[in-house]
Amino acid sequence: MKLIVGLGNPGAQYARNRHNIGFMALDRIAQDHGFTGWKARFQGQVAEGRLGGDKAVLLKPQTFMNLSGQSVGEAMRYLKLTPADVMVLHDELDLAPGKLRLKQGGGHAGHNGLRSIIQHIGDGFARVRLGIGHPGHKDAVAGYVLHDFAKADEDWLDDLLRGIADGADALAAGDGARFQNAVAQRVAPARNAGRAPPPPTAKPAPQPATEDSRSPLQRLADKFR
């Protein structure tokens, strides 16, 4: 069994915030893989289902970001899992919008949700870092992550979330390469995928031979010039 956690803040006013991309990813996985409806449990919202034949529990902590570890720790202990069975999907300022990276273990890099989880279960869990870009100055970070995605972000965001759902089976199985490939197929499809082949280049029509109007004697004389 895997516990897959998405990070965000509870409440409709935060639903489309950049900080809530982890919640958004879990919603898409639950929708595309036929998980149960969301239920209140472990100080969070939980949906259950199967990914690649194995049972998986999706968890959206409702404790607010800074206390996410309370919910994750409670769920992990109740389900008798170890940190190695936990995967956390979260926003990442240091990746360009639409980029995704996997990481096993490590620090929190200033992310308060990760900081709280590390305090409660240690740092041995896997992370799926979802790029949202950086506002350019550290003083602008708080307002940036707590602001909704812009309309211009909708296309890449939808592609990223669909790719995560496409690769969820591989993610749960620990096959990072296959998971990342599934995401790449959505966010960076093959350049010529789905395109009709270009029409063949037309060959130039043969030019008619030009009639030689010289006399036989003139043609003979020209050979010796």
Catalytic residues: 19
Would you say 16 and 145 are in contact if contact means Cβ atoms under 8 Å apart? Answer: no
Measuring CA to CA, which residue among 28, 22, 26 is closest to residue 8? 22
**Helix, strand, or coil (residue 207):** coil
Q: Where would I find the beta strands (DSSP E) of 42-184?
A: 44-51, 54-61, 86-92, 100-104, 126-131
Measuring CA to CA, which residue among 152, 31, 171, 147 is closest to residue 97? 152
Measuring CA to CA, which residue among 2, 103, 18, 9 is closest to residue 58? 2
- What is the C-alpha R_g of the chain? 29
**DSSP code of 9?**
-
153, amino acid identity: D
